[in-house]
Structure 1
Amino acid sequence: MANTRKNNQDMPNAHLHELFVDELRDVLSAEKLLLKGLKKMAGKANRDTLRSAFEEHYTQTEQHIERLKNVFSAIGLSPRAKKCKAMESLLAEAEEIMENFEEAEVLDAALIAAAQKAEHYEIASYGCLVTYANLMEHREAADLLSQTLEEEKDTDTKLTEIAMEEANVAH
């Protein structure tokens, strides 16, 4: 991979820089793909609370994309995504779920499971990015990425609450 930052050998743990940039590009793609998936999942959700959670995360995801653009800027690069095969696969699985489970009670539970798989991928990605940014002393990038990581964890918690209080239990 070509050098993505001039004098990147001057930073601590410079050996992580190329990996950091590659992961940033991957998660930028993942967030953009997730926007489309969230719109579809919100349209299929039966419960208002779940639909609202998907819509709220859609708005957050737009903010995550803007925040990632700021991270790229903070490290002196222009934002560029690379195809995120993992998110593509997770969203393909979500599409399959939406086609196979049409019964309202089961569909919402299945949508939550699909959404949480995507959330867990994002949590893992952002967790690694925060670690790399801290190790390379990219303070601004670490702060921005930490904000997104916390929001992803909050979304995961909210989805679990909806599942346990409404979607996964018989009423």
Structure 2
Amino acid sequence: MAIKTLVDLFIHDLSDVYSAEKQITRALPKMARAATDASLKAAFEAHLEETRGQIERLDQIVEKTEELRIRRMKCHALEGLVEEAQEIIDSVEAGPVRDAGLIGAAQKVEHYEIATYGTLTAMAKRLGFDEAAKLLAETLQEEKATDEKLNVIAEKTS
């Protein structure tokens, strides 16, 4: 897809984050199984449910905004971050060190999502997609809250 307008860029980034969220729904159960700290397991499981809700919000944005159609694409950035998390699972013995690595991997994902949803929210506002901006801002706040929750767990478990 040639990106020539802000709407084109918005659709591209929306499609990219849709792919990212789908990849996250496949990675979080593996991360939860690999974690040993109960609060970390619970955080991963809770964020999985939250991520499913975020995908539903993305679907709502497309349904409510005629000009938007999500394109099938793969978020390569998330693919790399998921691979890094898998490397930690495969190469670090279960316990506090692995948990610390999983927290770091999860926070890298959260920071990517925070940047993406912040950009998408700003673009939606500029384009006059008010309902989309509201839904994207809601997801942005959830991602920030998850990042903060991971900070708390990291400080408690280190």
Class of the TM-score when normalised by the shorter of the 2 chains: over 0.9
Aligned-pair identity in percent equals: 47
Secondary structure of the residue aligned to 2:5 is helix
Post-superposition shift, 1:121? 0.5
Q: Tell me the equivalent position of 1:142.
A: 133
Runs of 4+ in structure 1 over 6 Å off: none
Match of 1:151 among 133, 137, 142: 142
2:11–2:70 contact (8 Å) kept in structure 1: no
Q: Residues 45-65 of structure 1, C-alpha deviation per residue, up to 9 Å, x if partnerless?
A: 101100000000000000010
Post-superposition shift, 1:78? 4.1
Q: How does 1:1-171 map to 2 (within 5 A)?
A: 1=1, 15-76=5-66, 77-166=68-157, 168=158
1:29–1:82 contact (8 Å) kept in structure 2: yes
2:117–2:139 contact (8 Å) kept in structure 1: yes
Aligned length: 157
Corresponding letter in the other structure for 2:82: L
- What is the distance in 1 between the residues matched to 2:5 and 2:25? 32
Secondary structure of the residue aligned to 1:102 is coil
Q: Residues 12-42 of structure 1, C-alpha deviation per residue, up to 9 Å, x if partnerless?
A: xx93110000000000000000011101000
What CA RMSD, in Å, does the superposition of the two structures yield over aligned residues? Answer: 1.5
TM-score w.r.t. the length of structure 1 is 0.88
The gaps in structure 1 that reach 5 residues or longer are: 4-13
1:101–1:107 contact (8 Å) kept in structure 2: yes
The gaps in structure 2 that reach 5 residues or longer are: none
- What is the distance in 1 between the residues matched to 2:27 and 2:107? 12
